[in-house]
Amino acid sequence: MKVAVGQFAVTPDARANAQTCVDFMTNAAKADADLLVLPEALLARDDGDPDLSVKSAQDVDGEYLATLLRQSAGNTLTTVLTLHVPTQPGRAANTLFALRNGEIIARYEKLHLYDAFAMQESRLVDAGHQIPPLIEVAGMRVGLMTCYDVRFPELALAHALNGAEVLVLPAAWVRGPLKEHHWQTLLTARALDTTCWVIASGECGTRNIGQSRVVDPLGVTVASAAETPALFYADISEERVAEVRARLPVLANRRFADPQLQ
């Protein structure tokens, strides 16, 4: 599978942000990518208004998503990103969408809200309640996660035990002391926990670190970006998953389902 990972700095202008997504989708499709992973919360952002992502939330039939669906029509590229969708007045769900051939093939409301490091996502955002189903891309099974989810190994492990070979993670990883170290360490740990590929896209700019990565099932970063806008590619394979799982059979060695431990 050929994967594309795009990162950019989200602006206060939703139409401009949608056009940036369209440009990434166009280039990824021209490069014959099977999967494009974009960052989290792509509607609008403003350093002077931390609530703009929720204030600008759009329904599923809104202009932003309609623009991306039109762009996705007519090719087999699968695009993954998150947008805020209204749930009730003044509140929204941070919703991951997987788009392909003009359709929404999967959606997932973020389970773990970022109530940490003096931030409180739950103040205006409602948490999801369901683990999303796997999607299939170019013959590989893909599990869906969003940003802060990466700190909770149970979700990644649930995907792997259900058959995932790839984990995708749109993110907006906030800058701060040791945060870049946490990002790299957690992505590597989730790859090793699950022996899956991890495809993580991070929003960049003044608040967030960027540093998107493709990590292989043995925890090796095979492609990455720095802190500026970028679109890069990597080839991943199910053969690498099988090879690593034969050498490091952590999923088969788990004993938490063993009746002797009950």
CA distance 256 to 262: 9
CA distance 253 to 203: 36
Residue ranges, the chain, pLDDT below 70: 262
Tokens, residue 121: 């996502």
Q: Which domain holds residue 221?
A: 2-253
User: What's residue 260's pLDDT?
Assistant: 73
Q: Name 78's bridge partners.
A: 35
Among residues 134, 137, 140, the alpha carbon closest in space to that of 240 is found at 140
For the entire predicted model, the pTM comes to 0.97
Residue 142 lies in a domain: yes
CATH number at residue 184: 3.60.110.10
Q: Considering its fold, how many domains does the chain have in total?
A: 1
Among residues 90, 97, 174, 149, the alpha carbon closest in space to that of 125 is found at 90
User: What's residue 223's pLDDT?
Assistant: 98
User: What's residue 216's pLDDT?
Assistant: 98
Residue 214 lies in a domain: yes
Residue 144 lies in a domain: yes
Give 74-130 as a DSSP string: TS--EEEEEEEEEEETTEEEEEEEEEETTEEEEEEE-SS----TT--GGGTBPPP-S
User: What's residue 262's pLDDT?
Assistant: 59
**Residue 134 DSSP code:** P
**Residue 50 DSSP code:** T
Residue 117 lies in a domain: yes
Residue 232 lies in a domain: yes
Catalytic positions are: 40, 110, 147
